[in-house]
Amino acid sequence: DGGITQSPKYLFRKEGQNVTLSCEQNLNHDAMYWYRQDPGQGLRLIYYSQIVNDFQKGDIAEGYSVSREKKESFPLTVTSAQKNPTAFYLCASSISPQTGELFFGEGSRLTVL
C-alpha cells in the first residue's frame, strides 16, 4: 500500500543532542513537508521541498535542518539550537506543490528530557 512512513513514533532526547526524524513516501509525490504541532494548536510549517535537491524554509525553520537527496525521503534533523523541541512532528507529501492536497504520516512525538 502506498503511504508515508514516519519513524520513530516516539523519541526521547537529552538537551544538547541532535536527533533525526525519518520520513519516507512511496506515493511518487514531488513535494514533501514538515510540520510541527504543539498541544491544542494548529500546524506550523518547518521546511518544505518541491523537488529533489531543493528545499525552502517555512515559518519556523530555526533550529531545524533537512535534506532531499531522494524523491522518497525527506529527513528532518532537530538540532541543539532548537530551544523548545518537544512537540509532535508531522511529515506530509503532495503530488505537486500546486495541487495542495496533503497526505500525512502518523507523526513522531519528540520529548526532550
Partner 1 sequence: SQQGEEDPQALSIQEGENATMNCSYKTSINNLQWYRQNSGRGLVHLILIRSNEREKHSGRLRVTLDTSKKSSSLLITASRAADTASYFCATPPRSFQKLVFGTGTRLLVSP
Among 14, 42, 83, 84, binds partner 1 (CB under 8 A): 42
For position 60 contacting partner 1 by CB under 8 A, the verdict is: no
Bridging pattern class, strands 4-7 and 19-25: antiparallel
Q: Quick one: which H or E segment has residue 65?
A: strand 64-66
Q: Based on CB atoms, which residue is closest to partner 1, 67 or 104?
A: 104
Which residue in the block uniquely carries the three cell numbers 511518487? 28
Q: Based on CB atoms, which residue is closest to partner 1, 59 or 69?
A: 59
For position 101 contacting partner 1 by CB under 8 A, the verdict is: yes
Amino acid at site 55: F
For position 98 contacting partner 1 by CB under 8 A, the verdict is: yes
Among 92, 93, 110, 112, binds partner 1 (CB under 8 A): 92
Q: Is 50 exposed, middle or buried (0-12, 13-18, 19+ CB in 10 A)?
A: middle
